[in-house]
Structure 1
């Protein structure tokens, strides 16, 4: 089954699920009574149309003024929750999380969680090179930062969330650190998602030198009050043809994340899982240049990253600093 057919199937199932949820979520509420009446009154194909009714007969049932306000509020909240769930389903691609890969704790995001809990605006900077900028996507809305922004805004509908795309194609740590102050720190972000290392491998840069620059950059971001998540290399033909260099870079980024207690999204292992364990052809998520992701690849990447962020924030909100149920997909 192709990804397109899977996506169509997911959308059909989501539509049916959302309709059923909206119909049966509030069995005792006036909204449910009105919905049941509408279903019962729906004309059967080929039957004579029902006689016209007066405005009084078709008016929506009023809510009993003696009914407790808390019950009405709960009913409205339930409808909003179901609608939001349906929206999330419609906007997700058919994308499975990695399977068969060891899980460890994903670092928590205290600054982001605190802002969301207090209802304050949240600023996220997506810092990186071409795969952050969005090379390979067919439209700006399909880049990973924009996909991530849409997902987080659906999840936290009352929050003002800004995601700044600070990706510049062709760069790696040497160029990025030169614009770290203006592109990142001066934006006063609550979270920085730093995608780094791929171009260093392609340019045969010394992994240890790259690691020093990334280490210094992460320290500066933390000193400025930002949560940090590193994103490592993409699993694509032009990268995997340099296995030794790629392995050294991934291990260096892992060490930096562990040293600074920051998050890391192991994009290399996630993408490898798509191909090796989920049997998805590389050409289904990497474009013809053998390096950059396509729309589906960016969507799944953003989706899994967003899921991690949401779980991490939820854990921090209830007082858990390092949630054990949030995946950090790294092989043992």
Structure 2
């Protein structure tokens, strides 16, 4: 079955307040129900950065973070939508984005990129999207787990907050890979280290099943439009998670 999975790697990776905070009700298509808001962990470094109206952000990821594999443009990818959302919700906030996303990069390559950036830059927050490449290629789950643990330790040593985002939802991957093994590894590592986790897989499945944002069942001519909407929803969900776990927004908002 592996020979059928590998040629589709690129396509699958493309699937993508009050006080100081501005009001910004989430549209129906971007719902994050209460049961998805038990993120785990806190973000004290981010809380300090938000109070100072500046945030240096490092995004680690694969093709979906690039925004050039399914989206209409790189600016519609979820990292850029996250920046737009959090700047909108925290007036006056200046975000510096360091983007390290590359097609085919797995957790080990991303962990190395993390160490390299932290050796030269003062970073407030790392958003680490990973796990899809490993599921697609059938990589060793324990090797992925060890790379995650090492990256989290490096961030903590540098005094940098970190959040994780798990794999994208894909019926093909669910049927042809052991994706739940990798999802479980990420969940356990996040919980064991007190790292907030955005359940991208579950959210994308919810949006596909209930809201029609279904990348695998979208006609070719509408794929970029749907991908842009999914990435906008992911950026919004990430912004709300970061604001909630940093204490800038109540959990029920």
TM-score by length of structure 2 reads: 0.80
Once the 2 structures are TM-superposed, how far is the Cα of residue 136 of structure 1 from its aligned partner? 1.5
Query: What is the rounded CA distance, in whole Å, between the counterparts of 2:120 and 2:155 in structure 1?
Result: 10
Unaligned runs of 5+ in 2: 1-17
Contact 1:285 1:294 (C-alpha < 8 Å) held by counterparts: no
Aligned residue in 1 for 2:215:
283
Q: How many residues align?
A: 232
Once the 2 structures are TM-superposed, how far is the Cα of residue 150 of structure 1 from its aligned partner? 0.9
Contact 2:56 2:96 (C-alpha < 8 Å) held by counterparts: yes
Select 2:107's aligned residue among 146, 167, 173.
173
The structure whose Rg is larger is 1
1:158-197: CA deviation from partner (whole Å, max 9, x where unpaired):
2222122211111101322332222455332110000011
Query: What is the rounded CA distance, in whole Å, between the counterparts of 1:185 and 1:241 in structure 2?
Result: 40
CA 1:303–1:265 in structure 2 vs 1: closer, same or farther (change >3 Å)?
A: same
Select 2:199's aligned residue among 261, 266, 291.
266
Query: What is the rounded CA distance, in whole Å, between the counterparts of 2:119 and 2:171 in structure 1?
Result: 34
Once the 2 structures are TM-superposed, how far is the Cα of residue 139 of structure 1 from its aligned partner? 1.4
Aligned residue in 1 for 2:29:
95
TM-score by length of structure 1 reads: 0.62
Query: What is the rounded CA distance, in whole Å, between the counterparts of 1:154 and 1:252 in structure 2?
Result: 34
Aligned residue in 1 for 2:190:
257
Secondary structure of residue in 1 paired with 2:246: helix
Query: What is the rounded CA distance, in whole Å, between the counterparts of 1:205 and 1:254 in structure 2?
Result: 17
Contact 2:118 2:158 (C-alpha < 8 Å) held by counterparts: no
CA 1:169–1:96 in structure 2 vs 1: closer, same or farther (change >3 Å)?
A: same
Aligned residue in 1 for 2:3:
none
Secondary structure of residue in 2 paired with 1:179: helix
1:102-136: CA deviation from partner (whole Å, max 9, x where unpaired):
6535322100101222x252101111111111221
Query: What is the rounded CA distance, in whole Å, between the counterparts of 1:126 and 1:167 in structure 2?
Result: 7
CA 1:287–1:307 in structure 2 vs 1: closer, same or farther (change >3 Å)?
A: farther
Select 1:297's aligned residue among 205, 225, 230.
230
Aligned residue in 2 for 1:114:
48
Unaligned runs of 5+ in 1: 1-76, 317-322, 328-332
Aligned residue in 1 for 2:82:
148
Query: What is the rounded CA distance, in whole Å, between the counterparts of 2:104 and 2:60 in structure 1?
Result: 13
Contact 2:165 2:197 (C-alpha < 8 Å) held by counterparts: yes
